[in-house]
Amino acid sequence: WDTEAYCLPFYLATAPQQVAENLLIYRYKHLEKAIENAEKLGFTGGAALYPMVTMNGEECHNEWEITFEEIHRNSAIAFAIFNFIRYTGENKYLAEYGLEVLIGIARFWAQRVNWSIAKEQYVMLGVTGPNEYENNINNNWYTSIMATWCLKYTIQAIEEVKEIDANRLKEIFTKTKFNLAGETEKWQHIIDNMYYASDEKLGIFLQQDGYLDKEQVLVKDLPAVDRPLNQKWSWDRILRSCFIKQADVLQGIYFFEEEYDLETIQRNYDFYEPRTVHESSLSPCVHAIIAAKLGDLDRAYEFYLRTSRLDLDDYNNDTEDGLHITSMAGTWLSVVEGFGGMRVKENQLHLSPVLPKNWKSYAFKIGFRKAIITINVDTEKVVLTNESEHKITLNLFGNQQKLDANGSLNIKY
């Protein structure tokens, strides 16, 4: 899921569209293997579980708590399909490849939840979330919201393919033996009745059931000699602690930030970040982006340095095992989505650049649809330059701006 969640956004914005599409087609070509993987765990009816580590579609990871329980990886593949279509504006991939993958993933989630008589809601038991310092937990908030989002998106995708090519939709239904009324009715019931762990008093989403039962210690109170935890502590001690390896609840907030107001994001950030040890290459960039959104540029810059220098400074004492491609992608994400404020909303590119006080200026280049745009930011202004023959209307600091072919915009702060 590292590729889909972290690397794909980089390729979407910096490479020809086919590069990102090929990453998704790779998963499509492994769909039958993903169905076989799910069957080995007792799932039926075309449910698909993609492997955690693979070369040919078969699972190559040998830790059961990851292989069998870190199942949120399925949702990252679905989110990558959504992200590809959102960024490119082209949904033909859904009809050609994507919908079959989404159906397999949705079928997995529909079977993976179970109805709790006690809660009178659906629950998700025995999982490992993004925070791999927690295993075999119940109702991981991130896993649950991603599962129901997958169900919603698959229902939406069916309608989109129906509009694109109704005959192709019939072919997909025949190939997958899809029962439209029966399966989507079950999915909708899960969507409407899913349980999500939360704490009303703190006003936060709970990482999982029982998280607040743990002794609540902050990372700042950890002796430096104890870090990184996975090299200094026993797993028994790690699993009983409150410490978080990487963004978990905040990963979900990062993906769906438009669903939450700033106060909700701030409360969850203020609670979880002080408990996060960032002992994964996937962690600092998510925190950099959220911190920048919340206006905490000093912390955002600290997280940027953490992701950009992860291997250079060997923060986690594991560079000898190889370089971390996710921290490389995370460095780009920290600059472009963090300081640059780049988002795609309602088919339009949005930018809201800020300048860390440690820098005098910075610049980056992105391709969006058919336009190629260079963004230069300094202490006084933002300059956008269109290096293509295609004009574009974009949103800069909340205002609509037209950028002509080979034109430029000079906007003072």
Residue 237 maps to which CATH number? 1.50.10.10
Is the same domain home to 190 and 316? no
- Give the residue-averaged pLDDT of 1-17: 90
Least confident of 114-118, 278-282, 334-338, 383-387: 278-282
Same domain, 278 and 216: yes
pLDDT (tens digit, 9 = 90+) per residue, 295-307?
999 999 999 999 8
Question: Looking at the structure, do residues 31 and 175 belong to the same domain, yes or no?
Answer: yes
Structural domain of residue 408, as residue ranges? Answer: 344-412
pLDDT in tens, 21-79: 999 999 999 999 999 999 999 999 999 999 987 878 887 777 777 778 999 999 999 99
pLDDT digits (tens, 9 = 90+) for 68-113: 899 999 999 999 999 999 999 989 999 999 999 999 999 999 999 9
d(C-alpha 289, C-alpha 295), whole Å: 10
Say how far apart CA 293 and CA 265 lie, in whole Å.
Answer: 9
Question: pLDDT band at residue 2, thresholds of 50, 70 and 90?
Answer: confident
Q: Are strands 408-412 and 399-403 parallel, antiparallel or unpaired?
A: unpaired
Q: Final residue of a domain: which of 298, 319, 339? A: 339
The answer on 18 and 5 residing in a single domain is yes
Is residue 127 classed exposed, middle or buried when 0-12, 13-18 and 19+ CB atoms within 10 A define those classes? buried
**pLDDT at residue 131 greater than cutoff 80:** yes
Question: What is the pLDDT, as a whole number, of residue 317?
Answer: 80
What pLDDT is stored for residue 353 in this prediction?
97
CATH of the domain at 400: 2.60.420.10
Q: Does residue 264 carry a pLDDT above 90?
A: yes
132 carries an active-site annotation: yes
CA neighbor of 57 nearest in space, from 78, 25, 91, 31: 31
**Do 29 and 166 lie in a common domain?**
yes
* 1 pLDDT higher than 90: no
pLDDT value at residue 267: 99
pLDDT bin (cut points 50, 70, 90) of residue 322 is confident
Q: Tell me what pLDDT residue 281 has.
A: 77
What is the pLDDT at residue 401? Answer: 96
Number of domains within the chain = 3
- Same domain for 115 and 16, yes or no, is yes
Residue finishing a domain among 179, 196, 213: 196
Segment 216-239 shows an average pLDDT of 95
Is residue 7 domain-shared with residue 134, that is, in the same domain?
Answer: yes
Q: Is 188 in the same domain as 273? A: no
Question: Out of 4, 69, 132, 337, which one is annotated catalytic?
Answer: 132
Mean pLDDT over 110-118 rounds to: 99
Tell me the pLDDT of the chain averaged across its residues.
94
Specify the pLDDT at position 12: 96
> Which percentage of the chain shows pLDDT scores above 90?
86
At 122, is the pLDDT very low, low, confident or very high (cuts 50, 70, 90)? Answer: very high
